[in-house]
Every structure is written in structure tokens, then in C-alpha cells.
Amino acid sequence: MPHINLPEEYPGIRSLFVYRPETAAPLCQLAQVLLHDPHPTLSAGERELIASYVSNLNTCKFCTATHSAIAKHQLGSNLALVKQVLADPESAPISNKLRALLNIAAKVQTGGKQVQPEDIERAREQGATDIEVHDTVLIAAAFCMYNRYVDGLATWQPDNEAFYDKMGEQRAREGYKPSSINFTLTQELQKS
């Protein structure tokens, strides 16, 4: 049961966006820039993996399921890879650079001051650039905020894998611009 009176027909952060569209716009814009817009070197799928990984560490069911589904669609429908990263990035079949960036993201998740010079050096040794380190830290910090926003207000979170997959497919294609957030999709999927 949500802690405040949220629209019942929308799960997770979507209910919060409907409740407070004034805050939804900048939050969507931040997600658009961090996860969907073109990036000099990190793919959208890699950035979504970082978001999903941090959400999983924060045990935010809605954000983990949503961003895992988006990552899956950004990475050629490779759900197995997403699940491997969530379970253990050190043994997942990803680049050493992404592994080092996920390590930084995990440190940010526990507290920004947990990131040590050796974590940055490890990432640099694997070819990470300053913008990749910057954006990894910002994605991790932003998803700690998004996760706490979703869970701190006790939004309802469906147990419908098809819902997350359909939403993931749409977000992978359309991004996070407020105009592309199709709340009708949520209503249609709830009925299924």
C-alpha cells in the first residue's frame, strides 16, 4: 500500500510521475541524457546494465525489473547476460572495462566516499575514460535516488514479467522524454 494517495492504475515510478508531473519532467530528462541519448563510448545497453545493477543492489524490484528489460532489448534480447551481470559481474561475459565500471557503481551505491583511487585506476587500466567514470558515478548516484523514491513511497510493483518486458522494449526504442512516456501502455498491460 503506497504511503501517499497515488494513482492506483500506475505502478512504480510511473505513479509518481502522474502524481507530480512537475518533478517527472526533470527526472525523465536526466534518465534520457544518462541512459538513452548518444554517448561517446558507452552503449545504451551498458548504461542500462549499470542502472539495473545498482537498482538490484538497492533491492528495488520495479527499477531492477524495468532497467533489466531495457538492457535486454538494448543488448540484442540477451536476458541471460543481464541476469549474469546482476548475479556476479566479476564472472559475467562482459568487458573488463565494464566490469571495473560496475565495481565503481557498487561502491557509489554503498556511499560515494567508498570509491577509492584504486577503483578509478583499475577502470583506467581497462581503458575507461574520464567521461565513462563520471557517467558511471552519476548513473549510480541517480539510481540510488530513483530507487529510494520508488520504494520510499511504497509504490506498487507488479509481478508480471511480460509487463516489464513490454515496457523495456518501449523504453529501449523511445527513451525517457516525458512526451514518450506512454502511460496508456501501463493500463493495457495491467489488464493482461
Cell of 62: 520495479
Question: In this structure, is residue 37 part of a structural domain?
Answer: no
Q: Is residue 20 included in any domain, yes or no?
A: no
d(CA 116, CA 36): 28
The verdict on residue 92 lying in a domain is: yes
Chain segment 84-136, per-residue pLDDT in tens: 999 999 999 999 999 999 999 999 999 999 999 999 999 999 999 999 999 99
Q: What is the CATH number of the domain that holds 134?
A: 1.20.1290.10
Domain count along the chain: 1
Is residue 185 domain-resident?
no
- CA 98 to CA 133: how far, in whole Å? 10
1: amino acid identity, one letter: M
Assigned domain for 52 exists = yes
**Residue 53 domain flag:** yes
Q: By the 8 A CB rule, do 124 and 16 touch?
A: no
Per residue in 163-179, pLDDT (tens digit) is 999 999 999 999 997 66
User: Is 129 inside a domain boundary?
Assistant: yes
Residues 32-45 pLDDT 10s: 999 999 999 999 99
Determine the pLDDT at residue 181.
61
Dist. CA 52–CA 129, nearest whole Å:
21
**169: domain range?**
42-175
Asked whether residue 26 is assigned to any structural domain, the reply reads no
Query: Phi first, then psi: what are they for 79, rounded to 5°?
Result: -65, -35
